[in-house]
Structure 1
Amino acid sequence: MVFGRRSDITRSTVKTFARVSRWLPAGACGLILALALPARAAEVGAVAQVAAAPALTAEAIGRRIEELGALEGLDEESRKRAVAAYEKAIEHLIAAERWKAEAAEFERLQAEAPALLERVRSESTAETKAPAVAENADLASLEQELAKVEAELSAARKLQDELEQERKHRSERRVEVPRKLAEVTQALQTLAQRFPDDAPAPSSEPALAEWVLSEARKRALAAEADAYQKEIFSYDARRELLAARVDQAARTVASLEARADEIRAAVAERRRVEAERSAREAISATEKVAGEHPLLVRLAAENAELATLRSGPEGLAERIAAAKKELAAAADTLARLSDRFEGVRRRAEAVGFTEAIGLLLRKQRAELPDIRERQLHIRLRQREIGRAQLRLVELEEQRTALFDPVARAEELVATADPPPASEEERRHLVEAVSELLEAKRNYISDLIADYDTYFVTLVDLDAKERELIERAQGYRAFIDEHVLWIRSGAVLGVATFRDLWPALVWIVSPRNLGELGEAVAVAIAVRPVGVGFVLIVWLCLFAYRGRLRQWLALRCERDRTRRDRTIVSTCASLAAAVLLAAPWPLLMLVAGWLPVAAEGAGGAYAGAVASGLARTGLSYLGIEIVRQLCRKDGPGVVYLGWSERATATLRRSLASLATLLLPAMFVVATLDAQSNEAWKNGLGRIAFVFSLIVLGAFARRLAGPSAGVLEGLGIRSRARWFQRLRGALPTLVVVPLALLAVFAAAGYGFAAVHLARKLEATVWAGLSLLIVDTLSLRWMIAARRQLAIRQAREARAAAAAKQAEGGTAAPEAAPVEEPAVDISAVNAQTRRLMRSFIVLGAGLWLWMIWSDVLPALRVFDRVELWTVSREVSEKVTSNGTVSYRTVTSNVPITLADLLEALIILVMTVVAGRNLPGFLEFTVLQRLPLDAGVRYALTSVSRYLISVIGGVLAFAAVGVSWAQVQWLVAAMTVGLGFGLQEIFANFVSGLIILLERPIRVGDTVTLGDVHGTVARIRIRATTIVDWDRKELIVPNKEFITGQLVNWTLSDQLLRVVVPVGIAYGSDTKLAERTLLDVACESSYVVDEPAPTVVFQNFGDSSLEFELRAYIASFDDYWHARHELRMRIDEAFRAAGIEIAFPQRDLHLRSVSGPIPVAVRE
């Protein structure tokens, strides 16, 4: 038999593995069968007998692959299978050698561990204290020593991080290796059962190849299992060594940090001393030249100014020291934060996210660095870095100008005023000036060195603080991802009520209240100006509350019947309502601020009460503002358009709500700010559930149809969904509160409180945006009213001027009435623009409120729903070269992906409804495009948004276009037959939008349908006829039928007015009269000029036609009416008779009576 040609890959693989096989062990495990030449069969087509199998080495298997080419009696398919099996066997042999190498390495590490441990211990014992900083060392040597120590510290920290990673890696491997070892053992046992060791070698070549492959795989699995065992033994043997190395690295880092701090302090002190010495020398030089030449005095003063820049409390030396201190503090904070992060993550991975881990996460979240404050520092520091860099450039330029002090001195002396009197005086002056210039150059060099140090320190501090912010954000995201899903306490039960009394006693304890009073006294003593200012403001608000209430009532009563109230008046009244609501909530906020201002003087109790008062005061302020807006005939009714019934109901309900809710909120917030978890989960949780019950009753009452509150607040007119959900709305508003109560009762109190606060902020945001929307609408109404009044006044003035030109006295002008503007009359585009801005603001506001909750939704990413096959990029490393290849892998689709798809669909619907309109009145209306083009662009953009949103939504759940294109094609064909009319209308609609035979606003005639195009939709087009009836015409009719577009390319339209005059009339006069009538008409254009045609001699009249052109079809009926009226008036004045149909009746005369016969 003759074998087929082998591939280049096989040939190169064989050569490579043949070289590797030299390192394979020989012996009993290496030889399976002896090599032998194949025997040929005597009969044609007989299968060749295999006398022996190849040795289990890569080289022997490679030779066997080569021999298969000359083996007869083996078909091509069997040969390919055998070659593939032999190649896989070579791969398993190489893998076995790799596992053996890893096992040998673990054995070596295990053997060396005792000696290394002894050496580490001896090094730790022999560690000596670093020498003290030399007192007489100069600044340059100290800076070099500091750079050396900082480099050693960086290397030590890197080693410490590597050891921590090694410890983390070992912890992970101690969990992973036993599992893998069990899997390998199971696979080895399964393979041994299929191919027993005592089974004879097969006789056929394909079976022999499979048998060799199984033996190679056995060897690889055995080597892998041995490597896993050696790895575990190695970890056990090196446990103490790793701990000792970690301790040694920590001691080294601590020692180097102390050494670096000591040198930094010495450098700062030495820099300060040198700066003060330079300043003293410069001042002394100034005193020496006092009374001498003015040039010397000026140069000495400049030197003194340069020298003093480095010294003093605001000098450069102090700024460098402060920046160094901030850099060290930022590095220390970053290191501690990283250690804390890694420690918490290791604990969570070891024991899971238990209640203890949750408590730790909540505490550490409160201790995270303030990211906003750090970001503010970075922005300020960027300015300081820019100033330092600019100052460096200026100093470099000054030093360059002084590269030759003597030459510069000659130039200055040559232009000195007064000039030297003699050559000797000039020579002495040049020497003195050159000395001062040399000193100035040295001062500038010192400043450049300090500024360079300052600049580098600021840059390092900026980078370190950015790294700290990034790490803090990562840690915060980690905490936010898990903390809400960790139980914070036990299920609400009988045991929960045992801690009620201690918590209540703690809140009202006289001792604690005394500490709170001491904290307030300390705050007043520490910040008397701020406390006094706030107290004066509060007293003014309280004292003038009655007058403010009277002013607001008078303003509302005056504006209630006025239509010309301005937006300023509205805002002033709303501000008055806010001031009326402010006194008592402001008192609570101030009471919550005072213990904080005391800087911890009141202890934990004062801080907890301060937090409770602050949170309760904010909620109370919101409730009071709404109550003041809901005053009888108050700002809500007068300015916001709320109904009197709704405001009265809401005001009474809010009073009851505040009485029950605010004390419970104070208890929840106060206990949430203290550290006793039992009190939080006891009294705090019960108060929280009680507050949710109160809120649920309040919300259900107001959302009910009988209350009419939501309708009275204008929500019904703003939301289409209101009518759809009106019946179920009371239940829907209670469901979130009930879920939070169940959540808290189940032990997730922290999560429930956190989500409740987010929900409260969302409600206040929605109410604020409702008020802003109403104010914007009122502003647009006022602006439109003012515009109408101005136009009416201009029209009145124009009429008066026209009468004055005619010589007649103008009648007394009637007062301009203020038009009553309805909300529906407000410009729709402006309303959409304002609504778009409000929706955008709502989105940003909601993002600010719920952004820290979003990481918790990553828990849905762990809920796998199904898997899909996707092509992913895989990193491959071969011979030190990194490459990427595309492989097909099963990717899980999780609940988070499904939620993402739903969000995309919702956003697509919202964007499809609003974005095209927003695009039209923000961009398209400012371009030189007519209405039809704008409508086509907005319609196409709506289709694109829908298509893109659908594609993204399907892609989010793993449905790509490549997977569904054939299904879509089949569905398209099927729907094309079943819904061909709908598809025909859809395609016709696209043709109409692209080809534009008709446009929105065009006047068209389609069959017996006449009217104006109002809308072009996917399936049909809406035409409004002259009777204002809307006719729905399928789009296909415009493409396949005969269409008349009166305003497609030219707006000009000819109007024909037929006129018949009596026989005997002056035709020339009639012609001139008709032309005069056309020229005097305001609707008739000059070009083309109007014409008169003598059309025919009729039965009873001379038939004329007046043919005139008008500007647009909108004037058609007005022009016909005006022309006929003017023709009648003009013909009457000219004596031209307009003929009417006449009949001549001829009676024939007869003689005698006419006989009449009557028959019955």
Structure 2
Amino acid sequence: MCIRDSIASELGELAERTETADRLARQLDADFKIAQETVAIGVHGLSEEMGHMLREQRQSMPDVRAFQRQAEERDEKAGAVGARRLLHRREHKRLRDPDAYVAEMLSEAAAEETPAMRKRLLDLATERKALLEKAVESDEFYLRKLAELESAQKKLLDAIERFDAFLDEHLLWVRSASRTQLQELGALPEQVWRILSPAGWLEVVAVLVHQATHSPVFVLLALALGVLLWRRRDLIGGIAAISDKLGKPTTDRFGYSLQVLILTLIAAAAWPLVVAVTGWQLRTSPEATDFSNAVGEALLTVAANFYFLRAFFLICMPRGLAAVHFRWTESSLGPLRSALNQLSWVFLPASAVAIVAFLLDPLNAGWAVGRTSFVIMVASLAFALYRLLHAKSGVLAAYLGRPDNRIFRRLHRLWYPALVIAPLALGVLSVMGYLYTAGTLLALLVETLWLVAGLLILAALAQRWLRVTRRRLAYEAAMERRQTLLESKQQQGDGQGTEESGALDVEEEVDLEELTDTSSDLFNTAIVVAGLVGLWMIWSEVFPAFRIFGDFTLWHQTVTAEGEEQVRPITLADLVLALFYGIITVVLAKQLPAVLEMILLKSFDMPSASRYTITTLTTYAVVIGGVLLVFNTIGAQWSQLQWLVAALGVGIGFGLQEIVANFISGLIILFERPVRVGDIVTVGDTDGVVTKIRIRATTIRNWDRKELLVPNKEFVTGRLLNWSLSDQVTRIVIVVGAAYGSDVDKAHELMREAAVENEHVLDDPKPVVSFEGFGDNSLTLLLRAYIDDLDLRVPTITALHKAINQKFNEAGIVIAFPQRDLHLDTNGPLHVTIDGVARAPSGEVT
């Protein structure tokens, strides 16, 4: 009886939940239809009452997470009932023949069978069979009810998703309050007094006293916060103490920076945690009032921004993480600390007052005091951004003043005014009555600013890690050189004074080279990718609102789909999307080659020339794909572009043939690879190294570090000498002029010895010496030797010249020099003058 009552109760609950879901789905569909009809009139015609109604519907909308949890419980219940029905069916199948079932039971029990026993067992088996039939029917009925509930809840979830998507698309563009009138400011003193009145704050004190006396959790949190506040000065002192260990190879570690960062985050959490815990207790107390709830919600909301402001302030303090570890200048840190202090004392209190006002009177949008507080918030934020990012006095002044940042300086003129004006525009929206829109966008803007600040800290940490790593490697290399110097001097018997002459100041900071372009590009790419992902996560909640741009048609385009021509509207959303694709293409074209270069370098044993070919072709593919995607988004098709392409072809045939020839030649060079990056080539009278292969021309840097731009066509159609095409082996020729009368065989032997003793000269092919001829002033002797690295050509020639000169001097062989005969004209008298004649005291000439 109890089981039947339980099943009946569960079935009744299922029926009630199904009916509730159906009713909510019908109600949402009706509200959705009304909202659609209202919005169809025109968004600009919607009143603030309609906007308030839509927001109330958003707040009263059923919680999707609750239905998802119910769906999980329903699935678990359906699985259990299904398993139970399977067992019942299996048992019922065994009871199809009661006689056989009873006989099987008796045989298994090995009991003595009697007619009465057998009859009793048959009756029980028959009764069990009937009960199993009813159980199977009950399970199937229960599963049907679960299926009905699933269908009803699925319809409800679909209705919620449709309505929610509709609200996301239109709610941001609906006025949430009436326009602010000047006469409303007359009630501002009274509204401010309502917030500051002692009665409300006495309620707050009473709630906190109640929590302190009735909530052990509040007491424990208060004690923990007290300890944190007490130890806060020690944490800051520990940050300053670690600074003394930095800058020296023997003591500096990257772990110190992580340790300081953790200490900074802990020290900054003290007061924000006090604010957050107080707000939490005001919100959860059973003695809470409307005013205490509003204050608690405001404290909880501003606690996160308060923490970020305090954390960045401590990061920027003197002898802190930014000053000592990141080496940020005081000219940048000073304005940062000032702006953070200003936001802490203006932005945060204004935001708290605005939240309290909005919560106390949501129908009137927080009265005039709420709107005034919001305007103060955005004005303080705009002023802080104006001071921080100013081109001459802001934190970027030194960076903008560098001559190699012309592009960034030009872009600064665009994004700097836009970033300063954005908060002010939100203030204008709030005055016009779009408070919901302004509040939502301001929250996302603040989150974006914190994201940028966090990425800057991550980038500075990455640079700090590279700096410490390179310093340690440079120090170890210096110590190895010192040890080698000591050992070499000891082997030469000059051990005295070697400690003084070869010692290095181990505490002196080792000068470092600049970070490689590849590493910098890799970090920049990682920061850009992280920033894009973060921006997507922050702004994704308002992306549906931009679907409204799809209602603004710019032009129509005829497209062919499945063999039929259709008219497709090109909307403002398509244009924005095409612009977004263009930006992504530019970013990928600039940053992807560096990432691909690093991946190929680390994962594959591939020469630099092959890596350059792959990265260049990948860049071309990205650009072509991006251009095609942009044109496809705005409705351009090949059938419509082919006439333009044909016209361009005619123009190319006459005026741009050289450019196209160079582009095609560049592709041939990349695929055929007669010239690779890093090859040593001779073009005309220029010798140098290939450094870049671009679309139009190839860059060759000669030995004077001058760069020569050679059109790609010259490499394909002209004559080219590539010194390192197949291998690096090259021949060097040493010409020696021995004086007449020298022993030629001895000279050959000495020249051959000099070549054999040189470590860079190859044994195969072996060096060859020859007697080339009789010169005007000397006997011409030649040494031909081979080396396997073109970079060693000049050092090897120098070493051979020095060795041959030394050996000839030791053997007494004179290296001849030009001789000239001087003929005097004796047809006339010769005038001889002797200068500097000295006379002795006696008058004689000496």
Q: Secondary structure at the match of 2:557?
A: strand
Partners of 1:401 and 1:804 in 2: how far apart? 99
Residues 399 and 1136 from structure 1, CA distance in 2 versus in 1: closer, same or farther, beyond 3 angstroms? Answer: farther
Q: Which residue of 2 aligns with 1:56?
A: none
Residues 804 and 1104 from structure 1, CA distance in 2 versus in 1: closer, same or farther, beyond 3 angstroms? Answer: same
Asked whether the equivalents of residues 28 and 160 of structure 2 are also in contact (C-alpha less than 8 Å), the reply is yes
Asked whether the equivalents of residues 354 and 487 of structure 1 are also in contact (C-alpha less than 8 Å), the reply is yes
Q: Which residue of 1 aligns with 2:456?
A: 770
Aligned pair 1:985/2:662, yes or no?
Answer: yes
Asked whether the equivalents of residues 470 and 512 of structure 2 are also in contact (C-alpha less than 8 Å), the reply is no
Partners of 1:1081 and 1:410 in 2: how far apart? 104
After TM superposition, the score normalised by the length of structure 2 is 0.83
Residues 582 and 925 from structure 1, CA distance in 2 versus in 1: closer, same or farther, beyond 3 angstroms? Answer: closer
Find the partner of 1:1140 among 792, 808, 816: 816
Comparing both chains, which one has the higher relative contact order based on Cα–Cα distances under 8 Å and sequence gaps of 6 or more?
A: 2
Aligned pair 1:651/2:651, yes or no?
Answer: no
Task: Return the offset for 1:482.
Answer: 0.8
Partners of 1:799 and 1:392 in 2: how far apart? 85
1:617-647 per-residue CA deviation (whole Å, 9 max, x = no partner) reads: 2222222222212222322211122211221
Partners of 2:133 and 2:802 in 1: how far apart? 99
Partners of 2:518 and 2:391 in 1: how far apart? 32
Task: Return the offset for 1:1001.
Answer: 0.9
Q: Which residue of 1 aligns with 2:834?
A: none
Partners of 2:783 and 2:202 in 1: how far apart? 102
Q: Which residue of 2 aligns with 1:574?
A: 261
Partners of 2:749 and 2:147 in 1: how far apart? 92
1:107-166 per-residue CA deviation (whole Å, 9 max, x = no partner) reads: xxxxxxxxxxxxxxxxxxxxxxxxxxxxx6985xxxxxxxxxxxxxxxxxxxxxxxxxxx
Find the partner of 1:488 among 153, 162, 176: 176
Partners of 2:268 and 2:685 in 1: how far apart? 66
Task: Return the offset for 1:971.
Answer: 2.0
Residues 747 and 412 from structure 1, CA distance in 2 versus in 1: closer, same or farther, beyond 3 angstroms? Answer: same
Task: Return the offset for 1:800.
Answer: 7.2
Asked whether the equivalents of residues 491 and 745 of structure 1 are also in contact (C-alpha less than 8 Å), the reply is yes
Asked whether the equivalents of residues 866 and 894 of structure 1 are also in contact (C-alpha less than 8 Å), the reply is yes
Q: Secondary structure at the match of 1:1093?
A: strand
Find the partner of 1:660 among 346, 361, 374: 346
Residues 1016 and 591 from structure 1, CA distance in 2 versus in 1: closer, same or farther, beyond 3 angstroms? Answer: same
Q: Which residue of 2 aligns with 1:702?
A: 388
Q: Which residue of 2 aligns with 1:358?
A: 51
Q: Secondary structure at the match of 2:364?
A: helix
Q: Secondary structure at the match of 1:870?
A: strand
Find the partner of 1:554 among 241, 262, 265: 241
1:12-33 per-residue CA deviation (whole Å, 9 max, x = no partner) reads: xxxxxxxxxxxxxxxxxxxxxx
After TM superposition, the score normalised by the length of structure 1 is 0.62
Q: Which residue of 1 aligns with 2:735?
A: 1058
1:925-936 map, 5 Å:
926-936=603-613
- Percent identical: 32
Residues 935 and 374 from structure 1, CA distance in 2 versus in 1: closer, same or farther, beyond 3 angstroms? Answer: farther
Asked whether the equivalents of residues 1006 and 1043 of structure 1 are also in contact (C-alpha less than 8 Å), the reply is yes
Asked whether the equivalents of residues 643 and 712 of structure 1 are also in contact (C-alpha less than 8 Å), the reply is no
| 1:866 alignment partner AA | W
Find the partner of 2:526 among 809, 815, 837: 837
Asked whether the equivalents of residues 633 and 644 of structure 1 are also in contact (C-alpha less than 8 Å), the reply is no
Q: Which residue of 1 aligns with 2:762?
A: 1085
Task: Return the offset for 1:856.
Answer: 1.4
Partners of 2:814 and 2:537 in 1: how far apart? 79
Q: Which residue of 2 aligns with 1:9?
A: none
Asked whether the equivalents of residues 677 and 692 of structure 2 are also in contact (C-alpha less than 8 Å), the reply is yes
Partners of 1:872 and 1:566 in 2: how far apart? 63
Task: Return the offset for 1:699.
Answer: 2.2
| 1:507 alignment partner AA | I
Asked whether the equivalents of residues 732 and 793 of structure 2 are also in contact (C-alpha less than 8 Å), the reply is yes
Task: Return the offset for 1:712.
Answer: 6.1
Residues 411 and 487 from structure 1, CA distance in 2 versus in 1: closer, same or farther, beyond 3 angstroms? Answer: same
Find the partner of 2:223 among 525, 531, 536: 536
1:748-763 map, 5 Å:
748-763=434-449
Find the partner of 2:311 among 613, 619, 625: 625
1:162-561 map, 5 Å:
266-267=6-7, 337-349=28-40, 353-369=46-62, 471-497=159-185, 500-501=188-189, 503-517=191-205, 519-520=207-208, 528-529=216-217, 531-559=218-246
Residues 1079 and 690 from structure 1, CA distance in 2 versus in 1: closer, same or farther, beyond 3 angstroms? Answer: same
Q: Which residue of 1 aligns with 2:717?
A: 1040
Residues 1057 and 516 from structure 1, CA distance in 2 versus in 1: closer, same or farther, beyond 3 angstroms? Answer: same
Task: Return the offset for 1:778.
Answer: 0.9
Q: Secondary structure at the match of 2:727?
A: coil
1:19-56 per-residue CA deviation (whole Å, 9 max, x = no partner) reads: xxxxxxxxxxxxxxxxxxxxxxxxxxxxxxxxxxxxxx
Find the partner of 1:856 among 545, 554, 561: 545
Asked whether the equivalents of residues 785 and 818 of structure 1 are also in contact (C-alpha less than 8 Å), the reply is no
Q: Which residue of 2 aligns with 1:1007?
A: 684
Task: Return the offset for 1:451.
Answer: 10
Q: Which residue of 2 aligns with 1:584?
A: 271
Q: Secondary structure at the match of 1:997?
A: coil
Residues 823 and 395 from structure 1, CA distance in 2 versus in 1: closer, same or farther, beyond 3 angstroms? Answer: farther
Partners of 2:482 and 2:614 in 1: how far apart? 41
Partners of 1:401 and 1:1065 in 2: how far apart? 120
Partners of 1:667 and 1:335 in 2: how far apart? 40
Partners of 2:229 and 2:735 in 1: how far apart? 83
Aligned pair 1:826/2:504, yes or no?
Answer: no
Task: Return the offset for 1:718.
Answer: 11
Q: Which residue of 2 aligns with 1:954?
A: 631
1:753-808 per-residue CA deviation (whole Å, 9 max, x = no partner) reads: 11111111111111110111111111112122223334444566677788899999
Task: Return the offset for 1:494.
Answer: 2.2
Q: Secondary structure at the match of 2:541?
A: coil
Asked whether the equivalents of residues 247 and 509 of structure 2 are also in contact (C-alpha less than 8 Å), the reply is no
Partners of 2:399 and 2:300 in 1: how far apart? 29
Q: Which residue of 1 aligns with 2:843?
A: none
Partners of 1:609 and 1:353 in 2: how far apart? 32
Asked whether the equivalents of residues 88 and 135 of structure 2 are also in contact (C-alpha less than 8 Å), the reply is no
Residues 525 and 1053 from structure 1, CA distance in 2 versus in 1: closer, same or farther, beyond 3 angstroms? Answer: farther
Asked whether the equivalents of residues 542 and 583 of structure 1 are also in contact (C-alpha less than 8 Å), the reply is yes
Partners of 1:363 and 1:994 in 2: how far apart? 64
Task: Return the offset for 1:341.
Answer: 3.4
Q: Which residue of 2 aligns with 1:607?
A: 293
Aligned pair 1:1156/2:834, yes or no?
Answer: no
Partners of 1:918 and 1:1083 in 2: how far apart? 36
1:680-723 per-residue CA deviation (whole Å, 9 max, x = no partner) reads: 25221121112222222222223223423224699989976442
Partners of 1:888 and 1:825 in 2: how far apart? 58
Task: Return the offset for 1:833.
Answer: 2.1
| 2:277 alignment partner AA | V
Task: Return the offset for 1:334.
Answer: 5.4
Asked whether the equivalents of residues 1095 and 1104 of structure 1 are also in contact (C-alpha less than 8 Å), the reply is yes
Q: Secondary structure at the match of 2:328?
A: coil
Q: Which residue of 2 aligns with 1:887?
A: 565
Partners of 1:717 and 1:267 in 2: how far apart? 82
Partners of 2:706 and 2:440 in 1: how far apart? 55
1:406-452 per-residue CA deviation (whole Å, 9 max, x = no partner) reads: 99999999xxxxxx9xx989xxxxxxxxxx99999999999999999
Q: CA RMSD in A?
A: 4.7
Structure whose alpha-carbon radius of gyration is higher: 1
Q: Secondary structure at the match of 1:678?
A: coil
